[in-house]
């Protein structure tokens, strides 16, 4: 079995959302300093690196991550090449019935230096999530920090996706992935009350 790891490496070098808690890993106990084991501590926002948003992230009464059904995070997925698009419209996507591949991962390659937070990112145009839901999509994944404009306060794409009951994956690492059909496995940590969670996302060629 060949697995493609599409998770961004978690480290101090990973740029975080401005003002949010950055990722930091430290060894509190070290064998090199006389301890019997190495023991590390990870401090991070749940939205650092490759992660999923729970509805509670953008809805005050939305479901938290520990209450979500896990099935949308596992199964057939379609990686779509939308490189060079500033705004991703439905016409930029394959005109297909997505029920066979109800997870759509958008490869933009627009954030290549993950040590620096991007100044801008591609986003979905209004109506795209709704059209995808009508064709059977249960999850949308992107290779950037958000599905909305970085300076957005009302988060229209998050809310449209949420109304559709579609799950969100952000900060995927799709740079070395050829567009096509895969099996996605991207299970979130079970954080009680969490507004999101890190995932270890992998693809397997079907």
Give 95-140 pLDDT, tens digit per residue: 888 999 999 999 999 999 999 999 999 999 999 999 999 999 999 9
Q: What's the pLDDT score for residue 39?
A: 98
Place of tokens 């190495």: 38
Active-site residue (options: 47, 51, 57, 158)? 57
- Give the CA angle between residues 21, 184, 188 to the nearest 5°: 35
What pLDDT, in 10s, does the model give residues 151-173?
999 999 999 999 999 999 999 99
pTM for this prediction: 0.96
Overall average pLDDT of the 187-198 stretch? 98
Percentage above 70 pLDDT, the chain: 100
Three-class HEC string of 51-111: EEECHHHCCCCCCCHHHCCCHHHEEEEEEEECCCCCEECHHHCCCCCHHHCCEEEEECCCC
- Is 51 annotated in the active site? no
Task: Give the integer Cα–Cα distance in Å for 47 and 131.
Answer: 26
Residue with structure tokens 């933009």?
A: 108
Query: What are residue 162's phi and psi, to 5 degrees?
Result: -65, -40
> What is the residue extent of each domain of the chain?
3-205
Give CA–CA dist 78/101, Å, rounded: 6
What number does CATH give the domain 3-205? 3.50.30.50
Helices (H), 122-163: 128-134, 156-163
Question: How far is residue 186's CA from residue 7's CA, in Å, rounded to a whole number?
Answer: 9
What percent of the chain has a predicted confidence (pLDDT) above 90? 98
**Does 1 have pLDDT greater than 80?**
no
- Other CB atoms closer than 10 Å to residue 108's CB: what's the count? 20
pLDDT in tens, 29-56: 999 999 999 999 999 999 999 999 999 9
Alpha-carbon distances of 176 from 13, 27, 53, 112, 119, rounded to whole Å? 20, 31, 24, 11, 23
Helix (H, G, I), strand (E, B) or coil at 159: helix
Quote the pLDDT of residue 95: 85
8 vs 134: CA distance, rounded Å: 31
């Amino acid at each position: 079995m060949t697995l493609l790891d599409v998770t961004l490496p978690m480290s101090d070098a990973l740029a975080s959302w401005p003002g949010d808690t950055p990722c930091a890993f430290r060894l509190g106990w070290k064998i090199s300093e006389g301890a019997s084991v190495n023991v590390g501590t990870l401090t991070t926002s749940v939205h650092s690196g490759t992660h999923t948003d729970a509805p509670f992230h953008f809805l005050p009464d939305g479901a938290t991550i520990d209450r979500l059904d896990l099935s949308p995070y596992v199964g057939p997925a379609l990686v779509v090449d939308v490189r060079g698009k500033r705004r991703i419209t439905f016409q930029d996507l394959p005109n297909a019935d997505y029920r066979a591949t109800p997870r759509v991962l958008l490869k933009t390659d627009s954030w290549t230096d993950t040590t620096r937070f991007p100044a801008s990112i591609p986003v979905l145009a209004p109506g795209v999530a709704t059209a995808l839901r009508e064709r059977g999509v249960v999850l949308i994944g992107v290779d950037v920090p958000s599905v909305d404009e970085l300076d957005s306060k009302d988060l229209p794409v998050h809310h449209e996706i949420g109304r559709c009951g579609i799950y969100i994956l952000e900060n995927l690492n799709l740079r070395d992935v050829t567009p096509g059909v895969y099996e996605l496995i991207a299970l979130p940590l079970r954080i009680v009350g969490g507004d999101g969670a890190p995932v270890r996302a992998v693809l397997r060629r079907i």
